[in-house]
Structures are given as structure tokens and as C-alpha cells.
Structure 1
Amino acid sequence: MPVITFAHHKGGTGKTTACLNIGGFLKKTGKKVLIIDCDPQANATSGLGIEPGTADHDIYDVFMSGTEGFERVPLKSAIIRGADVPDLCPASLDLAGAEPYLYEREDHVSILHDAVGPITRRYDVVLIDTPPSMGQFLINGLVAADHTVITMDTGPFALQGIESLRTIFSDISENTGVTVVPAMAIITRGKVLREEMTPGAAVMDGLRRLIGISGRNDQERTRFLEIMAALEHEFPLACAIPYDPLVPEAQKRGIPISECGRESPAASEYARIAEIVGGWK
């Protein structure tokens, strides 16, 4: 059972959207899918139609298990079963209060990894949504992962984000012995680009075309070329998600885009990504 973590310490890169929609299409193929929401903002929880803070137990209780004075809650006790959507271990704002306690524990970087272990036979794939920060929940998600998916946009700070992620991965390896190797980059917010799911070079060609037809100035063109070069160097596989109004519509309805009942540009791309991810071990 592969554990796949969606990561970027910057907000607005599409982590939650990718996690939910890939999970939705994996569910459509008949796989048993669990999504673990490790973000105190609980957007993945809301995105599956669950009101944050209403569950008897959530990921806060799982992280606090083993901390003196707190009840032991195994991950299986915090899972909400889905019918047509993936199962969910929800989050709530309470999670923000857990982090100070985690620093006091010797196992603080491996809490999630250890919690996932007992449920591995129940699922075909586990997807972890992480917060836009460099704290314990992101680190736990990366340490627990077999594969890491990086989501990013093509904004002016994307390149700095790649550098920061490289530093985070290096620090995790140095301090835990766990090597984090990104398996895929998903580029979001492409309003024109609709590339096939191919290795990075084809996506880069598409982005170059996008630059050409968008009339961007020299400074923006240079930034895009720098991002492309970094992606070609860093990631074995890069995928692009076009702009699609069906994405926010699905989020408002509390369902993955796979449940909207019609094809769309983004849905087609997420379905192709799910097909690739479904073959990971």
C-alpha cells in the first residue's frame, strides 16, 4: 500500500485540490482510498463534505496519542467511511494546538508514519494532505510517505519554493535518515496549457508555447524559463492542470471533481494522473 504525500510549504499551490481529485478518481477505479487531512485549515475535510470539528475523533487525537495526559486514539478510530468518495481522517482547527506538544516527544517526526502502519491492509492507497508551513505536520507527512507529490503554480515565487523544498528534504534526511525524493510535480492554474501526461520535457514545451501566446514581458518570460529549468532538473514527472471552473464548483459542493458527472479539462488531467499514481507501489 503506497502512502503518497502532497506537499508545498507555500499556500495556494493546489495541494488539497490535487489530493482530493486524484483520490476521487482512484476511488472510481475501485481502489480503497484513505485521505488524511493534516492541515489545521481542514480544507480536505470540507472538500469531502465534512464539517471540521464535528467528528468524534480526528487527526488531532491521533497526533496527541502517546502524549502524557491525552487519550490514545488509533488512526482507525478517527476514520470516516465514504460511500462514493474516499474514506477520510478529518482535521479541525484543534490541530494547530498540537504542534507545541510534538516537539517534546522523541518520536515527533514519525508519529504519522507509526499511526498509518496498522491500517495498511485496509487500503490500496493512502493520500496525505499537508499544511502550507514548514512545521511538524509537513515533516510527519514527508516521513510517512513512500512517494511525494509537489504542487506548484507558475507565480513569481515558485522558484524560491523549489529551493526551500530542497532544503527541507535535505534537513529531513540529515536528521531522520529518511530520504525524500519527489515523484511528481503538478503544475496548477494553467489557463491555456493542456498537455498530455508525459515526462517533464513535453510540459516544458507547452509552457514555452504558453509564454509565447500570452504576450508576457521579458521579466516574466525569464522567470518562466527559470522555473522550467528547475522542474526539468528536479522532477522525474511533471503534469499540468488547466484552469477549469468545475474545480471550485466541486469544492463548494464538498465532492471531488470525479463526482460532478461530466468531463472537463481538469477532470481529464486528474484522471490521467490517478492512473499513473494507481500503479505506484
Structure 2
Amino acid sequence: MTTILAVANQKGGVAKTTTVASLGAALVALGRRVLVVDLDPQGSLTFSLGHNPDKLETSIHEVLTAGVPVGDAVLGTDEGVDLLPATIDLAGAEALLLMRPGREYTLKRALAPLLENYDVIVLDCPPSLGVLTLNGLTAATSVLIPLQCETLAHRGVGQLLRTVSEVQQITNPDLTLLGALATLYDARTTHSRDVLADVSGRYDIPVLAPPIPRTVRFAEASASGTSVIAGRKNKGAQAYRDLADNLAAHWTDGTPLATYDADA
């Protein structure tokens, strides 16, 4: 059974795209067949994996709105992951989909022909709770919430959790909330630990291990069109490899997810 993981948070700048690209590459290194899907009109995932969104003729937009076969839009990458790219045209998809019956299921139907080709599909949801994010949550088997370790970062988490709950009740009863993933984490500061403890206590959700440290390697990797996994060894890449190990074991044999204790 293909695992479809939605990486979602309506707040921007919390490392959603970095998480999708790096986790996808780390899962490929574990022998998994991986597809990553760019659902953000900004096309950041597409760019960070070495493709120029401005030069693409076929993308997720045409798949969702014009009935183009999804296989026609899939691209290869140097990371070994396959990519379903996005362009700025996707910004108009929200309005087009709003007029369609069953609009929340559009992505799920589009991905169906690819399920036998991949072990894991990772969805990079846009920084909103609009139709595209609802499509991602409806298509997914599980959801992960990247959370920047700063005071204002968890504003809106409650709203996202309510949206996840509504999706579970209405369009996707099988959706599992894996928990939060701490990003841009600085273990030297009590502030980062305090934010995580507050999120875990206030919303009663697990925080997955390990937290992803703040490092300049992420920005360097995106600028070069690769994931941080492909570069030199660094603490950020190792954290995503450890996260991939954690998730792969959970998906394969039900091993309980390792979680991070901010109070430890």
C-alpha cells in the first residue's frame, strides 16, 4: 500500500518545502520509490529540485484542471525522487476547482494511476487552508506539521488541527495525524525547547524525533537545485535521515514513532 504523506502548515517559512525535498531524498536512500508533489503555486519545491517552473509546459495545474494524465507531468530529479511539479498557473486552480462537485477529491483521483509505481508520495501543501490543501489532506494517508521553533510559529496550529479533524470526519476518515516536526531548531536555546513544550502541551500532539536543526546548508542546497541530502555531511541532512528511518520503520512494521521530549 502506498503511503501518501501531506506536509502541511498554513504558515509560510516553516520549512515545508525543505522537509519534503530532504525527506524524499532520504527515503530514496533507504530504497523507497518516492514521488514528491508540489502543490504550491510558488513552485519552490520544483525549483529546489532542479527544474525551472517558468519553463515547464505541463504541471500539476494541467493535471488538476484540464484532465492531463498525471504521468505526462512527472519529472525525474538528480535526487532519485520523481517530481510532480508546479507553476504559477496553479494559483488559478483554486477558483476553477471551487466550481466543481467533489473538488476535494480531485488530487486523489489524479494520483490513483501512480499508486502502484511508488512506495511513498509526499505532498508539499501550500501555505493556506484553501482547496489545494484540502485536496492534499483528502488524498493523504497521514499528515505531518512542520513547526518553526519561534514564539509566533504555532499561531494557527489550532486552526490547522481543526481542519484536519473536519477532513477526517467528512472526506478522509483514514487520515492519520503523525504530529509536529520541529524545524529551525537551536538546541542551545531554552526558547526553542519552551516553544515545543508549549505546542505539545497545548494541542496534545506528539513532536517527532529528531528536531531539524537550523543550518545554512538548507539555503545553499535550495539555491543549487538539490536537497541537503545530496551535499556534504551536515547535521541537517543527518536529522532528515534519522526522521526517514523513524517514519520508514513506522510505515513498514508499525514501530511506534520516536518522539522528542522538550523537557528532557
CA contact (8 A) 2:200 2:206 kept: no
> In the alignment, is residue 269 of structure 1 matched against residue 239 of structure 2?
yes
1:74 paired residue among 48, 69, 76: 69
**Structure 2 match to 1:33:** 34
Q: What percent identity do the matched residue pairs reach?
A: 30
CA contact (8 A) 1:26 1:33 kept: yes
CA contact (8 A) 1:35 1:128 kept: yes
**Structure 1 match to 2:201:** 229
Runs (5+) with no aligned partner, structure 1:
66-71, 194-209
Cα offset, 1:128, TM superposition: 0.6
**Structure 2 match to 1:146:** 141
TM-score by length of 2: 0.87
1:208-260 residue CA offsets vs partner (Å, 9 max, x unmatched):
xx31xxxx6xxx997664224136x2127353111111111111101011111
> For residues 63 and 194 of structure 2, what CA distance do their matches in structure 1 show?
45
- RMSD, aligned CA: 2.0
1:141-172 residue CA offsets vs partner (Å, 9 max, x unmatched):
11111111110112222333221112211332
> For residues 159 and 245 of structure 1, what CA distance do their matches in structure 2 show?
23
Task: State the SS of the aligned residue for 2:54.
Answer: coil
AA at the equivalent of 1:227: V
1:196-275 paired onto structure 2 within 5 Å: 210-211=189-190, 225-230=197-202, 233-235=204-206, 237-260=208-231, 262-275=232-245
Task: State the SS of the aligned residue for 2:211.
Answer: strand
Task: State the SS of the aligned residue for 2:121.
Answer: strand
AA at the equivalent of 2:198: E
Cα offset, 1:60, TM superposition: 0.2
TM-score by length of 1: 0.82
1:1-281 paired onto structure 2 within 5 Å: 1-65=2-66, 72-178=67-173, 180-192=175-187, 210-211=189-190, 225-230=197-202, 233-235=204-206, 237-260=208-231, 262-279=232-249, 280=251
> For residues 230 and 195 of structure 2, what CA distance do their matches in structure 1 show?
36
Number of residue pairs matched?
Answer: 250
Task: State the SS of the aligned residue for 1:41.
Answer: coil
> For residues 154 and 246 of structure 1, what CA distance do their matches in structure 2 show?
18
Task: State the SS of the aligned residue for 1:172.
Answer: helix
Runs (5+) with no aligned partner, structure 2:
253-264
CA contact (8 A) 1:25 1:274 kept: yes
> For residues 96 and 184 of structure 2, what CA distance do their matches in structure 1 show?
37
Task: State the SS of the aligned residue for 1:17.
Answer: helix
> For residues 259 and 159 of structure 1, what CA distance do their matches in structure 2 show?
30
Relative to 1, partners in 2 of residues 1:16 and 1:221: Cα closer, same or farther, differing over 3 Å?
A: closer
CA contact (8 A) 1:47 1:255 kept: yes
**Structure 2 match to 1:202:** none
